[in-house]
Amino acid sequence: MNTLRKAVVIGAASIAAVALAAPAYAATPVKKAGTSTTYSGNVQGALSGTASVTTTLGGGTCNASTLLGTVTSGGALTINTASFTDCGDTTVTAQSLPWTGGSFDNTTAVVGGREGTVTIGGFRVRAVVSVFSITCIYAGTVTADGNNNANLDVTINQSLAKQSGSSFLCPGTANVTAAYTIRGETTANSGTFDQALAL
């Protein structure tokens, strides 16, 4: 893959690592894992493994991402900060924070499959490829499948559309695959995300 092609693809991958949505969705309370106790408070989404993206130009990866936000007792989710690092020759900046309108929803469970969904709203991220100063902006509705393992693990497999303000070199769409682990705090406002959650 040539340098220009690789740089554009990595930029798309960096953005795609947090595929998010603007509208509000149905919400149900999220629980402390192994209990029937509703959890509300701060939450963290940590990228587990890598995020990958496929476009007409090829594929790329982003190796680190962290989302920090809050969930209400009813399951409404807001993301207050989002970071993306180790994404090659690209600088990724989250815009228009906080991202509101997200949710946890266990009514979307599928027998033999997911145990619910997690949606994050209000997405807007700008990525600049440093070598060529190429700017790519992607956005779209992404609802991640959620599973109650040792922690609440969510997986993303979604297509995002290029937005106004992007370079003509950026692909029109990007298909995203990524995984996050979502945790809460045992002690409120401690900044230590050691509380396992479940849908």
Verify cis geometry, omega within 30 degrees of 0, for the bond prior to 23. no
Give yes or no for residue 18 having a pLDDT over 70: no
Q: What is the pLDDT averaged over residues 17-32?
A: 66
How far apart CA 8 and CA 156 sit, in angstroms, is 21
Q: Which amino acid is at 199?
A: L
CB 68 within 8 A of CB 161: no
Indicate if the alpha-carbon torsion angle 191, 195, 198, 199 is positive or negative: negative
For residue 133, name the pLDDT band (cuts at 50, 70, 90): confident
Quick one: residue 126, left, alpha or beta (phi over 0 = left, psi -120 to 50 = alpha)? beta
How far apart CA 8 and CA 10 sit, in angstroms, is 6
CA 63 to chain centre: 13
Full domain range(s) for residue 15: 3-198
- DSSP annotation of 4 reads H
Rg (CA), the chain: 16
Most confident range (mean pLDDT) of 13-27, 86-100, 177-191 is: 177-191
Best CA proximity match to 66, nearest among 46, 48, 51, 86: 46
Using CA atoms of 91, 58, 153, 125 in order, give the dihedral in degrees to the nearest 10. 30
Tell me how many domains the chain contains.
Answer: 1
Total-model pTM: 0.83
3-state secondary structure string across 121-147: CCCCEEEEECCCCEEEEEECCCEEEEE
What local confidence, expressed as pLDDT, does residue 86 receive? 84
